[in-house]
Amino acid sequence: MNIYDISKAAGVSIASVSRVINGADNVSEKTRKKVMDVIDEYGYTPNAYARGLGRGSMKTIGIMCSDSSDIYLANAIYYLETELRKNGYNCILCCTGYDYENKKASFELLKSRQVDAFILAGSKYVEKDSKDNQYIIDGAKEHPVMMLNGYIDADNVYSVVCDDKGGIKDAFIKLYESGARKTIYVYSSDSYSGSKKIEGIKEGARECGIPENSLRIVKGEKTFNGIAELLEKEYEKKPFDSVITSSDTSGIGALKFAVRRGLRVPEDIQIVSFNNSKLASAANPELTSVDARLEESCSRVCKLLMKLLNPPLDEEGNPKPVSISKKTKVKSKLVTRETTRF
Amino acid sequence: MNIYDISKAAGVSIASVSRVINGADNVSEKTRKKVMDVIDEYGYTPNAYARGLGRGSMKTIGIMCSDSSDIYLANAIYYLETELRKNGYNCILCCTGYDYENKKASFELLKSRQVDAFILAGSKYVEKDSKDNQYIIDGAKEHPVMMLNGYIDADNVYSVVCDDKGGIKDAFIKLYESGARKTIYVYSSDSYSGSKKIEGIKEGARECGIPENSLRIVKGEKTFNGIAELLEKEYEKKPFDSVITSSDTSGIGALKFAVRRGLRVPEDIQIVSFNNSKLASAANPELTSVDARLEESCSRVCKLLMKLLNPPLDEEGNPKPVSISKKTKVKSKLVTRETTRF
DNA sequence: TTGTAGGCGTTATCAA
DNA sequence: TTGATAACGCCTACAA
């Protein structure tokens, strides 16, 4: 059933059908009824492509994430998709993985879908070699790019980032204040947010008067056992009295290490993880975790995007230029549970 | 840059450009080079809408799920999207929530996007009042509907379901064999798979010679604490020696109950959960869990879909009719960890 | 208030 | 091997 079929069946022109389905007011009640009756009887869903072709916008946002099964990103996708749909936008999702070529290909694919904007969720879209970000910068010339927890300084690229640095710094200081003197930091990714977190550790140490060269920062594979085994080795080398991890997954790993080693938590060893996902409260004992305030960040992303895509109009109907900050920072929040003596 | 711009710049017709970008073989090397040079220089992404309009297919699958932040569904989405993209299909995702009107609206929306097929992920799309499934049945007249862990008997609707019943039944029997005599089953959803699981409990009990009226089956809110408190109350009424839960989330809740109550796991109480998600192995002690083999199920969904959408051609180039079973059952698998004495 | 006709960017068909 | 040209389904001036 297309618009011609409907118009024929209703005995009116396609223009009238178009007017009815688009809720124009210059249609007689009689015509409207004729058309609606036919639609109700036969059913009809306008073809969004044809519509988009004519109008130049499909009201679609392209979302890229490296792995939608990652708890953190899964939540992000949920918040983003739900919020955008409320605003009349649909989402095409690409789970790009971590491979550069794949990310780039996904971006191209979204371009071909004429998305109105891109959302790059997660900090894995900022490449080390800044030349490799060129595809994003070029793409932004056509449509805005929103980065969730990533930052690239370019035209039409906007960022909403969690204050990872501040969150980790606070955690470090809190641990210090609670008596921890031998803290080890475990991370598993050299992404944008990964480096911010390390900065946070360093800054926290500085404020506590700890020399940077005595800091213990180790990198491990992001799995429960990978982290647990890494810590086991490190503990053999030299014991520590507290662990900060860059994710809840790693936090669980730290917990497993403590259990296997027979260390009491938080008496013998304190643990602070990052993200405050379900994993943190599922753990036993429950993990103290830095809440990255993901929902807030996602909501900001959507609000900014709507502002960009539907700028308010001035009296003459021209879009007023909107000023949108290139980088929005969302404060993190420490959620204290059972793995610390705060 | 559209196809006209490219054709002008290359000094050939749009037909030639079209041939080049679609990899047709009846193009001279000279023409191909001219076109490719121009594309390389100016960049060009074909407009997928126009393409879809012309071809009648957008190579897009609509995926509906109630909540992408649910660990189980998040994994499903990941598997599905990745696999489909490998096959040249893109996905539009709708997180529909649990509200009927919303589910229906999302379905309509996907229809308007001319998706080539629908995937309904999760068992929340089978309504109790079968009249409410009509929108799915009608939709299936146009494009195939694949249900992951749901079943509706209708034309062009296909199901891939995990053998929830068998999985739960095995768990019950295993518990019985390990000495459990007072098992309680906790669930939180009356979905299609929810009812299958209850059947599994009943069947397991029957095989163990336990009268159905002595079975304890309770329903609670699907949160860690909701389940923990429910079990606390139940235990006050009458102690039990083992718990089976319909999800890992509830399994964690059971674990929390045991810890708070001071019960030793698995000595005093055994726990078996369902899904074998990350939560199961994150728990302390680690949860014995029924693996629903989600990846396998998703892979089946994709394979069936590809068969349906791209049927093999016979000698004359006509699609051969493919016979595809309406319902595929994937066997579940019990993963034994620390919360049982198996 | 209604209908006609042109355009959106491709693909596909048919001549040349 | 190429190039015109007609779909594809809708929107929107513009004309009636």
SS3 state of residue B56: coil
Task: Quickly give A53 CA vs D9 C1' distance in Å.
Answer: 9
SS3 state of residue B118: strand
Work out the mean pLDDT of chain B and round it to a whole number.
Answer: 93
SS3 state of residue B161: strand
- The Cα–Cα gap between A209 and A17 comes to 74
Are A68 and B67 within 8 A, CB to CB? Answer: no
- The Cα–Cα gap between B261 and B19 comes to 71
B95's CB contacts (< 8 A; 6+ apart) are: A77, A78, A81, A82, A85, B65, B66, B67, B68
Residue B315: which pLDDT band, with cuts at 50, 70 and 90?
Answer: low
Mean per-residue pLDDT, B10-17: 92
So what's the pLDDT on residue A318?
61
Are A112 and B46 within 8 A, CB to CB? Answer: yes
The nt closest to B51 (CA vs C1′) is C10
So what's the pLDDT on residue A338?
98
Tell me the CATH number of domain A3-55, given options 3.30.572.10, 3.30.70.600, 1.10.260.40, 1.20.1530.20: 1.10.260.40
Q: In terms of C-beta density within 10 A (0-12 exposed, 13-18 middle, 19 or more buried), how is residue A142 classed?
A: middle
- Residue among A47, A67, A113 whose CB faces B90 most closely: A113
- Residue among A46, A108, A138 whose CB faces B112 most closely: A46
Buried b vs exposed e over B65-98: b needs ≥16 C-beta within 10 Å? bbbbbbbbbbbbbbbbbbbbbeeebbbbbbbbbe
Q: Per-10-residue mean pLDDT for chain A, 342 residues long?
A: 91 92 90 93 87 80 93 94 90 91 91 91 94 95 94 96 96 97 96 95 97 95 97 98 97 98 97 96 97 96 92 65 89 97 94
So what's the pLDDT on residue B196?
95
- As ranges, strand C nucleotides with an atom below 7 A of a protein CB are 1-13
Q: For residue range B299-312, what is the model confidence (pLDDT) as tens digits? A: 999 999 999 988 77
If we measure between CA atoms, which residue out of A216, A1, A194 comes closest to residue A98? A194
Q: What is the DSSP letter of A217?
A: E
Residue B318: which pLDDT band, with cuts at 50, 70 and 90?
Answer: low
So what's the pLDDT on residue A79?
96
B229's CB contacts (< 8 A; 6+ apart) are: B257
- The Cα–Cα gap between B115 and B56 comes to 10
Tokens 């059971």, residue located: B254
CA distance A93 to chain B (A): 6
CATH of domain A164-292: 3.40.50.2300
Residue A310 Cβ < 7 Å to strand D: no
- Could you give phi then psi for residue B121, rounded to 5 degrees? -95, 125
Contacts of B108 in chain A (CB under 8 A): 45
- Residue among B69, B85, B259 whose CB faces A78 most closely: B69
SS3 state of residue B95: strand
C-alpha distances (whole Å) from A178 to each of A172, A266, A267, A342, B235 are 10, 11, 11, 6, 38
- The Cα–Cα gap between B330 and B283 comes to 26
Are A94 and B81 within 8 A, CB to CB? Answer: yes
Q: What is the DSSP letter of B312?
A: P
Residue A42 Cβ < 7 Å to strand D: no
Residue A57 Cβ < 7 Å to strand D: no
- The Cα–Cα gap between B42 and B58 comes to 25
| Sheet with B216-219: strands ordered across | B216-219, B183-187, B242-245, B270-275, B288-291, B333-335
- The Cα–Cα gap between A31 and A38 comes to 11
Task: Quickly give A54 CA vs C9 C1' distance in Å.
Answer: 10
Residue A3 Cβ < 7 Å to strand D: yes
SS3 state of residue A238: coil
Tokens 């379901």, residue located: B161
Are A58 and B49 within 8 A, CB to CB? Answer: yes
Q: In terms of C-beta density within 10 A (0-12 exposed, 13-18 middle, 19 or more buried), how is residue B314 classed?
A: exposed
If we measure between CA atoms, which residue out of A121, A39, A137, A93 comes closest to residue A300? A121
Tokens 């492509």, residue located: A49
So what's the pLDDT on residue B316?
57
Q: Is the pLDDT of residue B314 over 90?
A: no
So what's the pLDDT on residue B131?
95
Which residue is nearest to the C1' sugar atom of C3, using CA? A13
So what's the pLDDT on residue A12?
93
List the structure tokens of A287: 């993990």
So what's the pLDDT on residue A190?
92
Q: For residue range B223-276, what is the model confidence (pLDDT) as tens digits? A: 999 999 999 999 999 999 999 999 999 999 999 999 999 999 999 999 999 999
Q: Hey, which bits of chain A come out as E strands?
A: 60-65, 90-95, 117-121, 145-148, 157-162, 183-187, 216-219, 242-245, 270-274, 288-291, 327-330, 333-335
So what's the pLDDT on residue B313?
65
Tokens 């929340």, residue located: B124
CA distance B214 to chain A (A): 31
- Radius of gyration for the alpha carbons in chain B, expressed in angstroms and rounded: 26
Q: What is the CATH topology of the domain spanning A60-161+294-330?
A: Rossmann fold (3.40.50)
So what's the pLDDT on residue B140?
94
If we measure between CA atoms, which residue out of A277, A276, A322 comes closest to residue A303? A322
Q: For residue range B29-76, what is the model confidence (pLDDT) as tens digits? A: 999 999 999 999 988 888 888 888 877 777 889 999 999 999 999 999
- As ranges, strand D nucleotides with an atom below 7 A of a protein CB are 1-5, 7-13
C-alpha distances (whole Å) from A266 to each of A9, A13, A255, A262, A342 are 74, 75, 10, 12, 10
- The Cα–Cα gap between B116 and B61 comes to 6
So what's the pLDDT on residue A314?
62
Are B281 and A224 within 8 A, CB to CB? Answer: yes
SS3 state of residue A313: strand
Q: In terms of C-beta density within 10 A (0-12 exposed, 13-18 middle, 19 or more buried), how is residue A165 classed?
A: buried
Task: Quickly give B18 CA vs C14 C1' distance in Å.
Answer: 16
State the number of CA atoms in the 13 A half-sphere of B87 facing the CB.
20
Torsion from C-alpha of A293, A296, A300, A303, nearest 10 degrees: 160
Residue A55 Cβ < 7 Å to strand D: yes
- Could you give phi then psi for residue A144, rounded to 5 degrees? -60, 145
State the number of CA atoms in the 13 A half-sphere of B288 facing the CB.
24
Task: Quickly give A12 CA vs D6 C1' distance in Å.
Answer: 25
**CATH 3.40.50.2300 residue ranges for chain B:** 60-161+294-330, 164-292
- The Cα–Cα gap between A49 and A78 comes to 25
Are B81 and A75 within 8 A, CB to CB? Answer: no
Name A184's bridge partners. A216, A243
Q: Is the pLDDT of residue B317 over 60?
A: no
Q: Hey, which bits of A58-188 come out as E strands?
A: 60-65, 90-95, 117-121, 145-148, 157-162, 183-187
- The Cα–Cα gap between A272 and A75 comes to 21
CA distance B123 to chain A (A): 18
Residue B280: which pLDDT band, with cuts at 50, 70 and 90?
Answer: very high
| Minimal-distance CA residue of chain A relative to B107 | A45
Q: For residue range B184-207, what is the model confidence (pLDDT) as tens digits? A: 999 999 999 999 999 999 999 999
Q: In terms of C-beta density within 10 A (0-12 exposed, 13-18 middle, 19 or more buried), how is residue B294 classed?
A: buried
Which residue is nearest to the C1' sugar atom of D11, using CA? A54
Q: Is the pLDDT of residue B6 over 80?
A: yes
Are A112 and B47 within 8 A, CB to CB? Answer: yes
A210's CB contacts (< 8 A; 6+ apart) are: A176
Q: For residue range B96-128, what is the model confidence (pLDDT) as tens digits? A: 999 999 999 999 889 888 899 999 999 999 999
Are A71 and B45 within 8 A, CB to CB? Answer: no
- Could you give phi then psi for residue B37, rounded to 5 degrees? -60, -45
